[in-house]
Amino acid sequence: MAKSFERKFFGTDGVRDLANTGNMTPEMALKLGRAFVKFSGAKKIIIGRDTRKSCRMLEGALFSGMSSEGAEVLLTGIIPTPGVSWAIKNYNAGGGAVISASHNPAEYNGIKFLGSDGCKLSDEDEFKIEQIILNDDQNDTHSPNQIGDVKDVPDAINNYARHLASLLKFKFGKIAFDCANGAASVIVPKLLEFTGLNGKIISSKFDGLNINANAGVMHMENLTEYVRKNNMTLGFAFDGDADRVLVSDAKGRIIDGDIILWVLARWLRAKNYSGSSQTAVTVMSNMALESHLMNEGIKTLRCPVGDRYVLDAMRSSGAALGGEQSGHIIVRDFTSTGDGICTAMLFLNAIHELNEDINTLIDRFGRYAQKLTNLKLTRPRDEVDMNTINSIAEKYQADLKNSGRVFIRTSGTEPLLRILVEAQDPEKVNSLSQILEEQLLKLC
């Protein structure tokens, strides 16, 4: 990430804060809306949102800013982030915005922008939007007849669901879908209707305050217990804006993004998709994935955390597939951003055509022991002494040599320092994690 594009408001996934405070007030949403239109020049913009109580408040301010700059705004209502990406291309829009804080609790919210290609903006583009906000001339207004229209497009949800349904080529046993009381809640019922899947939906009764609450990818025990108790074939869990997916096998064990990538990479390779000889993953992916892909003749490309950085790596390399351990998966011929429900449909196709035994995937994957420790930051992120922290990490990385790794970074969405330790020896992972936590706590 170029230092010249370090941003004040934007993080790893858009602008995010506690709703109605800091960078997530109606005033800020209006400024972001104005700045996005000035930056992009878009004449038509799609806005979608998740199920948070604060979404309608921010939506009104956001489209007011966009409309005041002359853009026509199409409101989809509640829809997954990838649904906005799909709508941009299918409604001939010049860009889009999603009001969501993804996996964060209901008291948070966020705004992220997508370009005319349906992809998330680059650091440089977000930096330019910030400069417009910081230098905005409030007197630079348009006449009344230049105000852009604001319209509802309720058919977007049905059309997006039909698109997802068209991806599924095979029927399966009983499948559970945990919608995290989020945006997937409005899509999955339609998906089951259009595909005829024997599916059971849980955590879909949203009330504005229960998104991600004891459900979805952040609380996999909700899905795994349901799958196990109800003898389901497998289950899918999403996050609040449904751009992530994790899987439960029939035994109630978690199949994470690394294993999903392992399956999809082999499937794309078997189908001879263009770019299937390479897969982009983040620095958080388990070393076992890299080993498995190497055995399949598939090169692993490492990139920073964030599905837009995954997409950057895919674009520069021509890779057909990329994703994160956390469940953001991008399959180039199908999506422009992480799409949890699309990934679920492709995963079902892949396990059928590869004749996979879902219940042995975890055993065969044989992941390296891995521990992620989160330390709360007591100072602003830009005041954390990362040079000293990186020096400490390098020291212990040298001790591990090629049998493991140490990776430390600040979170782009929360005030946390994340410490990842990975090695084949679980005892080494635990002891080293404890040592690092003790040494780094005073630097946070």
Q: 381-422, pLDDT tens digit by residue?
A: 888 889 999 999 999 888 887 778 898 988 877 889 999 999
Within 13 A of 324's CA, how many CA atoms are on the CB side?
A: 21
Q: Which of 352, 367, 382 is the last residue of a domain?
A: 367
Q: Which of 313, 339, 367 is the last residue of a domain?
A: 367
Do 114 and 245 share a domain, yes or no?
no
Nearest 10 degrees: Cα torsion 50, 53, 54, 55: 30
Residue 100 has a pLDDT of 98
E strand or H helix that includes residue 372 = strand 369-376
Do 225 and 91 share a domain, yes or no?
no
- Residue 193's SS3 state is helix
pTM: 0.89
40, 54, 85, 102: which one is catalytic?
A: 102
Do 160 and 111 share a domain, yes or no?
no
Do 136 and 165 share a domain, yes or no?
no
Residue 2 has a pLDDT of 39
Asked if 267 and 169 touch (Cβ cutoff 8 Å), the reply is no
Do 383 and 356 share a domain, yes or no?
no
| Tens-binned pLDDT, residue by residue, of the chain (444 aa) | 335 578 889 988 899 999 999 999 999 999 999 999 999 999 999 999 999 999 999 999 999 999 999 999 999 999 999 999 999 999 999 999 999 999 999 999 999 999 999 999 999 999 999 999 998 766 666 778 889 999 999 999 999 999 999 999 998 899 999 999 999 999 999 999 999 999 999 999 999 999 999 999 999 999 999 999 999 999 999 999 999 999 999 999 999 999 999 999 999 999 999 999 999 999 889 999 999 999 999 999 999 888 889 999 999 999 999 999 999 999 999 999 999 999 999 999 999 999 999 999 999 999 999 899 999 998 888 888 899 999 999 998 888 877 788 989 888 778 899 999 999 889 999 999 999 999 998 888
Report d(CA 350, CA 340) in Å as an integer.
Answer: 15
Angle at 78 between CA 115 and CA 70, to 5 degrees: 45
Report d(CA 164, CA 166) in Å as an integer.
Answer: 5
Do 67 and 119 share a domain, yes or no?
yes
- Residue 383's SS3 state is helix
User: Which residue range forms the structural domain that includes residue 409?
Assistant: 369-443
Q: Tell me 120's DSSP state.
A: B
CATH code: domain of residue 122 = 3.40.120.10
Do 299 and 403 share a domain, yes or no?
no
Do 339 and 281 share a domain, yes or no?
yes
E strand or H helix that includes residue 39 = helix 26-40
Look at the block and give the residue holding tokens 């449904």: 242
Q: Which of 125, 153, 181 is the last residue of a domain?
A: 153
Do 334 and 359 share a domain, yes or no?
yes
Residue 209 has a pLDDT of 98
Do 107 and 14 share a domain, yes or no?
yes
Give φ, ψ of 17 to 5 degrees. Answer: -170, 175
Burial classification of residue 134, based on how many CB atoms lie within 10 Å of its CB (0-12 exposed, 13-18 middle, 19 or more buried): exposed
Do 312 and 209 share a domain, yes or no?
yes
Do 188 and 208 share a domain, yes or no?
yes
- For 196, residues 6+ apart whose C-beta sits below 8 A from its C-beta are 171
CATH code: domain of residue 426 = 3.30.310.50
For the chain, how many structural domains are there in total? 3
Residue 140 has a pLDDT of 67
67 is catalytic: no
